């Protein structure tokens, strides 16, 4: 039967007053020589005393794929091996599973909770996942197949199908008996779900209610009749936001007819928050979250290269703009060029700040047209204020250096305009990419950086040609 991965160390400690579990930081230096020398017995003894998460962290820290497979192969107890496999990051888990027979994977998957088992199966090739399902028991495979139909980053993809349920006609005492009999199937659990004859969720019973209410109390009188629920197709990041907003420990997943499909617990949401944070950080700088766990220099380089080339194209275009205006402005360009890094850098910073806030806002919830209008107005005002302050400082510096007030006006006006345009662009670009079904976190950073450089130069030198030409500082 598929069930939550156990903590073998905790189970071995049952009945003992206190067990000091070694921390991975304290034994890491001792483990590496044992791995290199392939000293099975002492290495296995140490691994069995570690928490599965620490064992997974150690395996993930090994750069050599053969070392990873060797260490995992020492975990001969299926319960321990499945717990470690659950904790491994994607690339490390892929290294382990690609050499395992599908029957061995089936044995490990059967020890996991359904949401963790679904994660492992979704990482396999479809043909291999089908063979793993065939190697599982009929009941377990039937429970798994519906979960594999959900997107892995949706509520259905992270939900656990094991739930504790009681019928509407039950009493609190009968609900307690369900907990006593089936609690190991649904660990960790925070609620007992009350369902009708058609499997529709009608309410929830918290652990506090189960403890405090009299055994003979009908569950319909004790249950919360308006629990927060989520649909299976909701994005996992929105699920995490719901947990944060309502301070939840668990939330039921229901279909369009209100039927209970499973539940999501706070430990799953913590993982989602970490994954989404890593994804946003990586994509905003034009790489991929896989890089955090990747060891291949070639693969890391090719993860970064597309966006680096995009920035290169923008830089070459900006260079062409600079060469064009240098010829037009003549000797004046020598002085103006000294302010190019300042103007492009300030515009880039302003655009990146606005884009980061907007990408994060879009990740948490949709933004309507009315709200979008107010956001653009706010960012325009912010950009104008920041631009005015920076423009005055830069313009004053230009006057001090050159001694000609018109040059200060050019620099100041260009700074204000560049920062203002960058703020508006950084706010609107993520929305545009969302509309055309491109991930804003992937595309916005490189696009804003490239566009700000080009637009900033066009504004700067365009104003210089216009104002200095009108003042007779440059020829026609």
For 394-421, the pLDDT digits (tens) are: 889 888 887 778 888 888 988 898 889 8
Report whether 281 contacts 221 (CB < 8 A): no
Report whether 159 contacts 186 (CB < 8 A): no
In a domain, 25, yes or no: yes
Report whether 410 contacts 462 (CB < 8 A): no
pLDDT at position 340 is 82
- For the ranges 65-79, 187-201, 265-279, 461-475, the lowest mean pLDDT is seen at 461-475
In a domain, 154, yes or no: no
Q: What is the CATH number of the domain that holds 23?
A: 1.25.60.10
- Residues above pLDDT 90, as percent of the chain: 25
Q: Are residues 129 and 109 in the same domain?
A: yes
Q: Are residues 204 and 126 in the same domain?
A: no
Tell me the two tokens of residue 229. Answer: 């629920």
pLDDT at position 291 is 47
Q: What is the CATH number of the domain that holds 462?
A: 1.10.357.20
Q: Which residue has the higher pLDDT, 390 or 273?
A: 390
- What is the spatial distance between Cα 164 and Cα 33, in angstroms, rounded to a whole number? 46
Q: Cα–Cα–Cα angle for 49, 69, 187, nearest 5°? A: 50
- What is the spatial distance between Cα 122 and Cα 148, in angstroms, rounded to a whole number? 7
Q: Are residues 196 and 253 in the same domain?
A: yes
Judge whether residue 475 has pLDDT over 70: no
Place of tokens 């994804």: 279
In a domain, 289, yes or no: no
- What is the spatial distance between Cα 121 and Cα 133, in angstroms, rounded to a whole number? 9
- Backbone dihedral region for residue 162 (phi beyond 0: left; psi -120 to 50: alpha; all else: beta): beta
Mean of the pLDDT values across residues 415-433?
Answer: 87
Report whether 27 contacts 12 (CB < 8 A): no
- What is the spatial distance between Cα 171 and Cα 181, in angstroms, rounded to a whole number? 16
Tell me the two tokens of residue 88. Answer: 């491994």
Q: Are residues 122 and 232 in the same domain?
A: no
Q: Which residue has the higher pLDDT, 471 or 113?
A: 113
- SS3 category, 194: strand
Which residue, of 249, 284, 319, is where some domain finishes? 284
- What is the spatial distance between Cα 49 and Cα 26, in angstroms, rounded to a whole number? 13
Return the half-sphere exposure (C-beta side, CA atoms, 13 A cut-off) of residue 388. 5
In a domain, 227, yes or no: yes
**Quick one: CA dihedral 118, 152, 148, 191, positive or negative?**
positive
Q: Which residue has the higher pLDDT, 470 or 155?
A: 155
**Quick one: CA dihedral 199, 201, 207, 208, positive or negative?**
negative
Q: What is the CATH number of the domain that holds 186?
A: 3.10.580.10
Which residue, of 103, 121, 149, is where some domain finishes? 149
Q: Are residues 30 and 65 in the same domain?
A: yes
Render pLDDT for 48-94 as a digit per residue (tens, 0 to 9). 888 898 898 888 888 788 898 999 999 988 889 999 998 887 778 88
Length of the chain measured in residues? 476
This prediction's pTM: 0.61
Judge whether residue 173 has pLDDT over 90: yes
Q: Are residues 39 and 143 in the same domain?
A: yes
Q: Are residues 442 and 398 in the same domain?
A: yes
- SS3 category, 286: coil
- For the ranges 107-111, 167-171, 381-385, 456-460, the lowest mean pLDDT is seen at 456-460
Render pLDDT for 237-257 as a digit per residue (tens, 0 to 9). 889 989 988 999 999 999 999
- What is the spatial distance between Cα 85 and Cα 89, in angstroms, rounded to a whole number? 9
In a domain, 158, yes or no: no
Q: Are residues 128 and 187 in the same domain?
A: no
Other residues' Cβ atoms within 10 Å of the Cβ of residue 160: 26
Other residues' Cβ atoms within 10 Å of the Cβ of residue 218: 14
In a domain, 134, yes or no: yes
Q: Are residues 183 and 231 in the same domain?
A: yes
Q: Which residue has the higher pLDDT, 167 or 297?
A: 167
Judge whether residue 458 has pLDDT over 80: yes
Which residue, of 242, 263, 284, is where some domain finishes? 284
Q: How confident is the model at residue 373 (pLDDT cuts 50, 70, 90)?
A: confident
Mean of the pLDDT values across residues 304-315?
Answer: 67
Report whether 257 contacts 267 (CB < 8 A): no
**Helix, strand, coil content of the chain in percent (nearest 5):** 70, 5, 25
Domain extent for 208: 165-284
In a domain, 360, yes or no: yes
Give CA separation, 20 vs 23, 49, 51, 64, 409, in Å.
9, 9, 11, 30, 70
Place of tokens 């279909």: 255
- What is the spatial distance between Cα 257 and Cα 255, in angstroms, rounded to a whole number? 5
Q: Are residues 314 and 441 in the same domain?
A: yes
- Note if the bond before 188 is cis, omega within 30 degrees: yes
Report whether 449 contacts 352 (CB < 8 A): yes
Render pLDDT for 334-366 as a digit per residue (tens, 0 to 9). 667 778 888 888 888 888 888 888 877 776 666
Place of tokens 């820290």: 61
The DSSP secondary-structure symbol of 51 reads -
Judge whether residue 471 has pLDDT over 90: no
Report whether 421 contacts 349 (CB < 8 A): no
In a domain, 305, yes or no: yes
Tell me the two tokens of residue 322. Answer: 């600079």
Count of domains for the chain: 3
Q: Are residues 121 and 183 in the same domain?
A: no
Q: Are residues 312 and 428 in the same domain?
A: yes
Report whether 112 contacts 86 (CB < 8 A): yes
Pairing of strands 250-254, 260-265: antiparallel
pLDDT at position 290 is 53
């Amino acid at each position: 039967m598929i069930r939550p991965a156990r903590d073998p160390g905790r189970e071995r400690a049952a009945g003992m007053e206190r067990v000091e579990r070694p921390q991975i930081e304290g034994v890491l230096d001792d483990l590496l020589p044992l791995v290199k020398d392939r000293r099975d017995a002492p290495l296995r003894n140490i691994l069995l005393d570690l928490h599965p998460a620490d064992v997974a962290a150690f395996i993930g820290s090994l750069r050599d794929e053969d070392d990873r497979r060797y260490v995992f192969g020492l975990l001969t107890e299926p319960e321990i091996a499945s717990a470690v496999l659950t904790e491994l990051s994607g690339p490390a888990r892929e290294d382990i599973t690609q050499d395992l027979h599908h029957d061995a994977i089936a044995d490990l998957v059967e020890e996991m909770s359904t949401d963790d088992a679904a994660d492992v199966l979704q990482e396999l090739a479809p043909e291999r996942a089908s063979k793993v399902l065939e190697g599982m028991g009929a009941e377990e495979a039937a429970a798994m197949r519906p979960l594999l139909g959900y997107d892995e980053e949706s509520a259905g993809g992270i939900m656990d199908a094991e739930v504790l349920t009681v019928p509407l006609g039950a009493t609190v005492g009968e609900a307690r008996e369900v907990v006593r009999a089936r609690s190991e199937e649904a660990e960790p659990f925070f609620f007992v779900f009350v369902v009708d004859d058609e499997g529709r969720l009608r309410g929830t019973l918290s652990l506090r209610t189960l403890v405090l209410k009299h055994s003979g109390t009908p569950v319909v009188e004790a249950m919360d009749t308006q629990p927060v629920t989520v649909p299976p197709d909701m994005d996992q990041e929105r699920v995490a936001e719901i947990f944060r907003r309502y301070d939840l420990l668990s939330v039921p997943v229901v279909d369009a007819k209100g039927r209970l499909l499973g539940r999501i617990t706070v430990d799953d949401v913590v993982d989602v928050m970490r994954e989404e944070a890593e994804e946003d950080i990586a994509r905003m700088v034009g790489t991929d979250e896989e890089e955090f766990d990747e060891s291949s220099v070639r693969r890391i380089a090719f993860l970064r290269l597309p966006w680096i080339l995009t920035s290169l194209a923008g830089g070459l275009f900006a260079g062409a703009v600079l060469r064009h205006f240098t010829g037009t402005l003549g000797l004046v360009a020598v002085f103006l060029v000294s302010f190019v890094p300042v103007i492009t850098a300030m515009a880039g910073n302003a655009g990146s700040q606005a884009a980061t806030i907007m990408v994060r806002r879009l990740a948490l919830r949709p933004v309507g047209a009315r709200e979008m209008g107010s956001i653009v107005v706010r960012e325009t005002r912010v950009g104008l204020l920041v631009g005015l302050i920076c423009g005055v400082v830069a313009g004053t510096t230009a006057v001090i250096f050159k001694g000609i007030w018109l040059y200060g006006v050019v620099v100041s006006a260009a700074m204000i305009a560049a920062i203002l345009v960058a703020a508006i662009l950084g706010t609107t670009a993520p929305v545009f990419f969302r509309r055309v079904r491109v991930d804003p976190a992937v595309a916005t950073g490189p696009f804003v950086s490239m566009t700000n450089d080009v637009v900033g130069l066009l504004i700067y030198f365009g104003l210089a040609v216009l104002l200095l030409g009108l003042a007779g500082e440059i020829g026609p």
